[in-house]
Structure 1
Amino acid sequence: MSTFNLDSQVPPGKTRATEDSPLRADAPVSENAADRIDRAWPVLLGAGLCMFCGQPAVVLFTFGTFVREIVASTNWSPVELAAAIAPATILASMLAPFVGRFADKIGIRRLALIGGPAFALGFGLLGSLSVSSTTFIALLAITCGLGFAATPLLYAQLATGWFARRRGLALSLIFACSSLGVVFWSPFAIQLIGLYGWRTAYAVMGLCAGTIISLSALLLLRDPPRSARAGSAGQAPGLTLSEAMRRATFWKILAIFFLITGTLAGTTVNLPVILQKIDIPAQTAAMAVSVAGLAMLIGRLSAGLLLDRWFAPRVTCLSVVLPLLAFATLLFDQSRSTFIIAAMLVGFGLGAELDAAAYIVSRGFGLRAFGAIYGMVTLSYGLASAIGPGAMGVAFGASVAPRLIFSISIGLLLTALVLLLTIRADHLPYGATLSDDARN
């Protein structure tokens, strides 16, 4: 039975990867590394811990708590502070393609070792140097820029490299850890703010998140042994970014996940506002938000199991069809029970789409330049995560009727569904079981 230990017999012509020489695309690896495809559970644990400290959990979902406390303790503009998350999110999204390229070149583990301390440094600067709302906005963007090791891009790349038959499951477990992080970091932030104030709270959170990422990279993460399944040219199978961009499938994928993420994230983030607009009681609003969060976790776990068994674009259709049913129902019935069910369906769709994006990219374009290609997809739905909630928030602020917003959401999701249905099996040519390729 193969183990995670690399100190096994190395065949002639191969060299052994060590702690100082992590497995990379340009480093020869042992046959034992190939045997660990689909069984690299320590790597998956490390990736999960890093995603537990990811930017969505540590930055985005704690942001509202910090803004409230900052406004209470300073004279800064609450309107300016409330808008600070948009440029930070956009900057992180814009950097994603470059982070993916670096991961392809120098390895994911090395980036994580650098990125953990960088993330902690960003939080330290945010807490100590924010002397006005303007500097806070700038430093929050810098913190997100330095948080490149706290983004899904790197760990989706790890999962696709280490897992073949169980790739969907591996991706779902990693993204589920991000949901668990959302559950943990917000209450932790509240406790720290109450004890030490918001400045120290930011520094402590950054130190904790950066330490967990660094230790996980040092002790658990290993770059996938792509050279073990490389072809005759010595490269992992797949397309370069420029080759991928010449294919219609690439642009379809970008459009699909931009539409899905923008629509569903816009609804989820603004759910309390939507419920308030139609006079739903605060208790019901809180219940609907909790249901959406739980459904998001279930969606991430179940999508992984389905992706390993059925054609990925058809599985992704669930991320569209279920929210479509929710919005269509809300056009005619806006009762308390209907909203709770709708929140569950939307949350499920938002949870499943991240798993599906990484899975489809790996099957559509291979692993040769996965980081760069998936970085572009990350840019697409990262921008959607900023634009969707903002646009929907502006619409509600302008007193646009909820039914009109639901109708527009249906139109956007129908467009994504049609694009998904145009993707055929021959558009995803890298669907072979890579664990078999690795042993050949």
Structure 2
Amino acid sequence: MRTGDKTQPRIFYGWWVVAVSVFGLSIGPGQFAFASLGLFMVPLGNEFGWDRAQISLALTFFTVALALSLPIAGRGVDRWGSRRVLVPSILVVGIGLVAIPLLVKHLWTLLVIFALIGSLGAGANSLPYMRTIATWFDRRRGLAIGAAMAGAGLGYAYVPPLVQYMIDSYGWRAGYFVLAGITLCMGVPLIALFLQESPADLGLRPDGLKDEPTDAAPETLLGMDRSEALRTMSFWILFLVFGVLAFSLYGLLPHLVPMLTDRGMGSAEAALVASTIGFTIVFARVLIGYLIDRFFAPRVALVFFLASAGGIVMLAAGAVGPTAFLAAVLIGLSIGAEIDLMAFLTTRYFGLRCFGEIYGLMFAALLIGTSLGPIAFGLVFEKTGSYVPVLILCAVLNAVVSFANLLLPRYREFAAPESVHT
């Protein structure tokens, strides 16, 4: 469409941006590198003699590298745009996934590759997509973010059965080759060709509105800079909430399948439980997007984050079979809400002016928790032969930070009052 063309498309192009983001988020390093490692733990241990704590150390290297690199990626997104950061980052992730089956013979090689995926592939995470979607939508931002982030849930849903099938049928190396092929042959061209940065580039306005702007022009991004955000109590409350939740939820995720197979479940059934988390994430992200456009988001967060405390308690009590599937649903509700709420609350409390940089710092909190969680789960298992002690700790922590959401104030106003949801 040419700038100034008065003809409006039947479907607002912002929703095509959301659709592209759905696929891009489904192939992110969180799904293809981090979460998938749990499926490779047993075959890697059998072939190389590594224990689960040693293999989990790769996730710590990944998340520490990602935490250090993501604020830099966020600054790059603010300066150069999402697409110029996404494409090379996705390439790095795909090459890293190819390198694992080709090069790994020693533990240090695995650790280095995961660190490189985390650092050089940092821009392939949700940050660039959220920045772009926040530019395309205002009044329907929550729903758009939720719909896009459902893609991450799709990744968590289809990766376990796909990878488990490849491992069972052709060996663990084939699993990584398939993930790399999807990333390089589908992800890179789709993002490069179809992810548009801003509605202004196509002569459109956010949400597809036809009326004239009321205050600032769409290109004007309002909000705080990094130093201003760091001086607010809201930033540190959110930083704590997301960090603790990540420790519990993403610490559990790579150990879920090994935990259930230890209890006697078959590998295919255990992978289906993990897949259930992914399908629940898809549902939860669309639902949470709908709810936070209509209700005060911290109160919605309280309900959804408490769900995971219940699911973790069920796992601590020895859940298998149908009970394990129910626990997976409750955990998936929290995981589905977390990133949606992080992006949405970052825009509402700190604005869009420096969204990439501030969201990168907020995401670093999640990554700190994510880096510590898997190794904590692995160490507890190696020391005690059970995951129960760390599961009980995580259930308590999740309950505490769920109620911390009630300390958050009303949203800050950075735009016209009618476009701010309270």
Mark yes or no: TM-score above 0.5: yes
C-alpha change, 1:193 and 1:313, in structure 2 (3 Å) is: same
Describe the SS at the equivalent of 1:428. coil
Question: Amino acid of the residue matched to residue 168 of structure 1?
Answer: G
Residue 107 (structure 1) shift? 0.5
Residue correspondences, number: 407
Residue 384 (structure 1) shift? 1.3
- Answer yes or no: is the 8 Å Cα contact 2:44–2:50 preserved in 1: no
Please tell me whether residue 295 in structure 1 is matched to residue 280 in structure 2.
Answer: yes
Residue 375 (structure 1) shift? 0.5
Gaps of 5+ in 1: 11-30
Question: Amino acid of the residue matched to residue 224 of structure 2?
Answer: L
Describe the SS at the equivalent of 1:315. helix
C-alpha change, 1:191 and 1:369, in structure 2 (3 Å) is: same
- Answer yes or no: is the 8 Å Cα contact 2:28–2:124 preserved in 1: yes
Describe the SS at the equivalent of 2:384. coil
- Answer yes or no: is the 8 Å Cα contact 1:117–1:211 preserved in 2: no
Please tell me whether residue 9 in structure 1 is matched to residue 4 in structure 2.
Answer: yes
C-alpha change, 1:137 and 1:36, in structure 2 (3 Å) is: farther
Question: Amino acid of the residue matched to residue 144 of structure 1?
Answer: G
Which 10-residue stretch deviates more, 61-70 or 414-423? 61-70
Alignment match of 1:355 (pick from 340, 363, 368): 340
**% identical equivalent positions:** 25
Which 10-residue stretch deviates more, 214-223 or 365-374? 214-223
Describe the SS at the equivalent of 1:398. helix
Alignment match of 2:60 (pick from 68, 73, 86): 86
Residue 409 (structure 1) shift? 3.0
Residue 364 (structure 1) shift? 0.7
C-alpha change, 1:91 and 1:433, in structure 2 (3 Å) is: farther
- Cα distance in 2 between the residues matched to 1:421 and 1:344: 24
Please tell me whether residue 412 in structure 1 is matched to residue 397 in structure 2.
Answer: yes
Residue 261 (structure 1) shift? 2.3
Residue 105 (structure 1) shift? 0.5
Question: Amino acid of the residue matched to residue 52 of structure 1?
Answer: S
Alignment match of 2:115 (pick from 141, 152, 160): 141
Q: What per-residue deviation string (whole Å, max 9, x for no partner) do you get for residues 46-74 of structure 1?
A: 2122112111221123324445445555x
1:428 maps to which residue? Answer: 412
C-alpha change, 1:121 and 1:388, in structure 2 (3 Å) is: closer
Please tell me whether residue 247 in structure 1 is matched to residue 242 in structure 2.
Answer: no
Which 10-residue stretch deviates more, 57-66 or 362-371? 57-66
C-alpha change, 1:347 and 1:311, in structure 2 (3 Å) is: same
C-alpha change, 1:354 and 1:127, in structure 2 (3 Å) is: same
- Cα distance in 1 between the residues matched to 2:13 and 2:198: 12
- Answer yes or no: is the 8 Å Cα contact 1:49–1:212 preserved in 2: no
Please tell me whether residue 46 in structure 1 is matched to residue 30 in structure 2.
Answer: no
1:305 maps to which residue? Answer: 290
Gaps of 5+ in 2: 206-212
- Cα distance in 1 between the residues matched to 2:20 and 2:125: 14
1:220 maps to which residue? Answer: 194
Which 10-residue stretch deviates more, 383-392 or 239-248? 383-392
Please tell me whether residue 119 in structure 1 is matched to residue 117 in structure 2.
Answer: no
C-alpha change, 1:70 and 1:259, in structure 2 (3 Å) is: closer
C-alpha change, 1:139 and 1:404, in structure 2 (3 Å) is: closer
- Cα distance in 2 between the residues matched to 1:191 and 1:336: 20
Question: Amino acid of the residue matched to residue 302 of structure 2?
Answer: C
What are the within-5 Å matches in structure 2 for residues 233-272 of structure 1? Answer: 235-272=220-257
Residue 179 (structure 1) shift? 2.1
TM-score, structure 2 length as denominator? 0.81
Residue 104 (structure 1) shift? 0.3
Residue 166 (structure 1) shift? 1.7
